[in-house]
Amino acid sequence: MALIPSQVLRVAILLSYFSILCHYKALDMPAHQTYGGSWKFLTFIDLVIQAVFFGVCVLIDVSSLLTKGSDSREQERQLRKLIGLRDWMMAVLAFPVGAFVVFTFWSLYLYDRELVYPRLLDNFIPQWLNHGMHTTVLPFIIIEMRTTHHRYPSRSWGLAAGVLLRRGIHPLDVLGAPCDRRVGVPGAGAHHPGGSSRLLQCDDRRDLCFLHTRRNPQQLHLGPATHRKGQR
């Protein structure tokens, strides 16, 4: 018997994600009020994915307890659908996105933290919250993989679904850019060496999007107002 039941672990992980999301949304950063808000950051999208995934896991645990000993075929069918959704999310979203965020963030951080997490952010985001967003994601997923048996979709279906989701997120971001022309939107290579300052902006005079190369990562994360505040 496990030292801590897997059901208790999943509830604890879900509550930790709720806490991280609440603390992150409570941060006083102008970037949260500009176009896209927190949704323009892959870190935040990943946190939402992980919270929804573990929410589904907890729902399955509760449903299993409530239907235990029941002979209802309809309840069993609905439970199998939830289990299928959980396994699909694990293979296509939770593990790939979570692992990508952790490895990419810390690789860029070790190479040059200004590319992905400027030092100015230390004035606004506590260290425990940074690790909650960029470190504990992977251990939580590994715990789930080790404590629960998952039936994954076929490799071709999983790859196709992942590519379609990836291709669908960024174009929506770009197409919505004209809604708020006061801010930049991360463009391709926005957080990579040699292209860290490239942001897709819109011109009020022409209603056209163009690449602007004079914005730095601090302005992307915090906005000009917070950048000046941090300098003081």
pLDDT, tens digit (0-9, with 9 covering 90-100), for 215-228: 455 555 555 554 44
Query: CA-to-CA distance for 146 and 80, rounded, in angstroms?
Result: 20
What confidence score (pLDDT) does residue 182 get?
42
Query: CA-to-CA distance for 78 and 72, rounded, in angstroms?
Result: 10
What confidence score (pLDDT) does residue 30 get?
75
pLDDT, tens digit (0-9, with 9 covering 90-100), for 107-157: 999 999 888 888 888 888 899 999 999 999 999 999 999 888 888 777 666
**What does the H/E/C string look like for 139-201?**
HHHHHHHHHCCCCCCCHHHHHHHHHHHHHHHHHHHHHCHHHCCCCCEECCCCCCCCCCCCEEE
What's the pTM value of the predicted model, to 2 decimals? 0.72
What confidence score (pLDDT) does residue 3 get?
53
Asked whether residue 1 carries a pLDDT value surpassing 70, the answer given is no
What confidence score (pLDDT) does residue 202 get?
40
Contact 78, 159 (CB under 8 A): no
What confidence score (pLDDT) does residue 33 get?
77
Long-range contact set of residues 100-105: C-beta below 8 Å, sequence gap at least 24: 101/42, 101/43, 101/46, 101/134, 101/137, 102/134, 102/135, 102/137, 102/138, 105/43, 105/134
Asked whether residue 43 carries a pLDDT value surpassing 80, the answer given is yes
Q: DSSP states of 18-68 as a string?
A: HHHHHHHHTS--GGGTSTTGGGGSHHHHHHHHHHHHHHHHHHHHHHHHHST
| Helical (H) or strand (E) element with 70 | none
Contact 134, 43 (CB under 8 A): yes
Amino acid at 87: D
Asked whether residue 94 carries a pLDDT value surpassing 80, the answer given is yes
pLDDT, tens digit (0-9, with 9 covering 90-100), for 163-174: 666 666 555 454
Mean pLDDT of the chain: 74
What confidence score (pLDDT) does residue 203 get?
41
User: For residues 52-71, b (16+ Cβ closer than 10 Å) or e, as one string?
Assistant: ebbebbbbbbeeeeeeeeee
Terminal-residue alpha carbon distance, the chain = 56
Distances (CA, A) of 135 to 102, 117, 203, 212, 226: 6, 14, 38, 31, 25
3-class state of residue 116 by DSSP: coil
pLDDT, tens digit (0-9, with 9 covering 90-100), for 2-14: 556 888 999 999 9
Q: Which residue has the higher pLDDT, 72 or 119?
A: 119
